[in-house]
Amino acid sequence: MKKRVLLLMSIFLLIGSLSQAAIPEPKAYNDPSLIYLTLDDGPNWKTGKLLDVLKKHQVKATFFILGKNIKGNEHLIRRIVAEGHLIALHGMTHEREEFYASPMTAVRQMKDVQRLIYEVTGIHTNMARTIYGSDAGMTPAHWQAMDEAGFAIWDWNVGSLDHIYKKDNASVEQRVFNRLEANRVANIASIILAHDHSMTPEALDTIIRYAKERDYEFRTLEGIQTPHNFSDGWEPYVSDSATP
Ligand SMILES: [Zn+2]
């Protein structure tokens, strides 16, 4: 009987140590091997093609949705959620003067898109990106109002410049590769900014293959308690913060 108990105990200990060995250390949110792909300004007619590429590579992204683009594209919003991507907020109109006119106009736009997304998906999110990035018009009063309204504001540190290069895939890709490398040297994770209206499926496909070949891991921004802003340590270059 005693032998049996000892045998059982040693089996439990063995299983315990095996399962411990099988669980890798969780990576810090800003681990340099992590990429957070973010897609802004959608949904629009191109969103489905980008979703196809993400699906092919089993990559999950974060979509910062523009409120004015929701009507008529509800199926795309639902598809984004159904395929495991993260849905987030990008205001209503993308008009700089309207959005940043006062702290309350900015909060109002975020609340409006928040409500629309809730109506379509049942998801209530407070994750947000202000148009053209936070340094385009966020005063201390804006920050305070957003904070009090419960919004977590995210910027980026890899501007793909897809909205400038458009179909010039080689330039978009090279820009992203250079910035990924700079972030790896700076020992920080990468948050790529791309746009539903500008990133081509071909460039997205190339960028994902490039990253996977170099052992990057793609994640959504879900669950990260410390939103990245241009002013903090995730950002190696100041110059990128001026890009929309
Ligand atoms: Zn935008």
Q: What is the pLDDT along the chain (244 residues), one digit of tens a residue?
A: 556 666 666 665 555 555 555 677 889 899 999 999 999 999 999 999 999 999 999 999 999 999 999 999 999 999 999 999 999 999 999 999 999 999 999 999 999 999 999 999 999 999 999 999 999 999 999 999 999 999 999 999 999 999 999 999 999 999 999 999 999 999 999 999 999 999 999 999 999 999 999 999 999 999 998 899 987 766 444 344 444 4
- Alpha-carbon torsion, ordered 223, 224, 227, 232, to 10 deg: 180
- Count the neighbouring beta carbons within 10 Å of the beta carbon of residue 66: 23
Cα 93 to averaged position of ligand 1 atoms, centre (Å): 10
Cα 26 to averaged position of ligand 1 atoms, centre (Å): 32
Q: Which residues does the annotation mark as catalytic?
A: 40, 195
**pLDDT given at position 242:** 44
Domain definitions of the chain by residue range: 29-223
* Residues in Cβ contact with 12 at an 8 Å cutoff, skipping those fewer than 6 apart: none
**pLDDT given at position 25:** 81
Supply the CATH classification number for the domain 29-223. Answer: 3.20.20.370
Cα 230 to averaged position of ligand 1 atoms, centre (Å): 16
Identify which of 138, 137, 134, 116 has the alpha carbon closest to the alpha carbon of residue 125.
Answer: 116
SS3 27: coil
**Four-residue CA torsion sign, 48, 196, 69, 115:** positive
Compute the C-alpha angle 51/55/61, nearest 5°.
65
pTM of the model as a whole: 0.87
Query: φ and ψ at 192, to 5 degrees?
Result: -85, 130
Cα 171 to averaged position of ligand 1 atoms, centre (Å): 20
* Residues in Cβ contact with 55 at an 8 Å cutoff, skipping those fewer than 6 apart: 83
**pLDDT given at position 221:** 97
Cα 12 to averaged position of ligand 1 atoms, centre (Å): 54
